[in-house]
Structure 1
Amino acid sequence: MSLGLTLAILGGALAVFLAGIGSSIGVGLAGQAASGVMSEDPSKFGSMLLLSALPGTQGIYGFLSGFLVILKLGLIGGTALAPTVQQGLQIMFACFPVAFAGLVSGIHQGKVCAAGIYMVAKQPKEMTKPMVLAALVETYAVLGLLATVLILNGIKL
């Protein structure tokens, strides 16, 4: 395996791992808050589930980016390419926006969702407000994904 291919795969793996870590921490934070609320009122499961699941999207974005790297390298259903070291570094650095945006925004979206869960516990009719606040954090994960996809598409192999 060439160094270029190794670096490219490392970039895809970092996108999956770091965005996944952010999502798992964020979902964990929101899930802990939801569990506390549902111990008092189990009928709030539906609204708690939605706010608890929102931080999980960053992991999906990281997985999608990793999959795009694998496709670009021809590792699935094609002939594996042997990128140069420079191309491998380009692919690795192209994965950084989604990796780091997913890591940070996943954690912070989990905090926003946990606070929203406490709000909905006291004011059940105010479900849309915490959703909007969580969507503001989501914006930066989407921008990280978009940057990664655009940069990956611009790399010639």
Structure 2
Amino acid sequence: MVEFFEMFGGIGLAFLGAALSVALCCIASAKGTGMVGEAATGVLTEAPEHFSKCLILQVLPGTQGLYGLVVWFFALFTMGAFSGGIVDLSVTQGLTIFVSCLPMAFGGWLSAIYQGRVAAASINVVAKRPDDWAKGIILCGVVEFYAILSLLASVLLLMNAL
């Protein structure tokens, strides 16, 4: 097992963690926003005046992609990418950065999909009771809370990684 880690080195492990954070979050955000967009098109064919409400619900699952990008940025910053050159990381340091990115990678991945499902279901509120559409936003906010916790965990871990 040690040979496996030494083959990639600390830099490879750190880049892998950063890449997983942004990739998983963005893939899931695309899936979540896509689900909401599909649900919204049915409503918009009958009631185009509800476009802004549907758009707000669609944007919500996309925030995890931004959070993943923030963690990616923090990971690269920790590696020294924005200060003149990437630091030669030991396997332990690289693994520390990799593991620090995991809360956002997995938390953002799952919360974007589940938030997309909640937002897609909330499109039904827009269709049947347009004045109550903010309740759907509140329901989406509950899922968003866990994405924010994942972001916080990864950022705090990365701030203390090296």
Report if aligned partners of 1:2, 1:82 keep a CA contact under 8 Å in 2: no
- Match in the other structure for 2:159: 153
Post-superposition shift, 1:154? Answer: 1.1
Give distance in 2, aligned partners of 1:116 and 1:79: 47
Matched, 1:38 2:44: yes
The answer to whether 1:121 aligns with 2:130 is: no
> 1:48 aligns to what?
54
The yes-or-no answer on 1:59 pairing with 2:52 is: no
Structure 2's unaligned 5+ residue stretches are 1-6
Larger deviation, residues 75-84 vs 133-142: 75-84
| Secondary structure class of the residue paired with 1:155 | coil
Cα distance in structure 1, aligned partners of 2:73 and 2:8: 20
State the partner residue of 2:3. none
Structure 1 segments unaligned to the other structure (5+ residues): none
Percent identical among aligned pairs is: 45
Residue 143 of structure 1 deviates from its aligned partner by 0.3
- The C-alpha deviation readout for 1:31-84, integer Å capped at 9, x for no partner, is 101111101111110101000110000000000100111111111242220110
TM-score normalized with structure 2 length: 0.93
| Aligned pairs for 1:100-111 within 5 A | 100-111=106-117
SS state at 2:35 partner: helix
- Which runs of structure 1 show a deviation greater than 6 angstroms over 4 or more consecutive aligned residues? none
Which segment is superposed worse, 99-108 or 74-83?
74-83
| Shift, 1:151, TM fit | 0.6
Question: Separation in 2 of the partners of 1:69 and 1:154?
Answer: 11
Give the structure 2 partner of residue 90 of structure 1. 96
Shift of 1:124: 0.5
TM-score (norm 1): 0.96
Deviations 1:7-51 (A, max 9, x none): 001100000001111111100011101111101111110101000
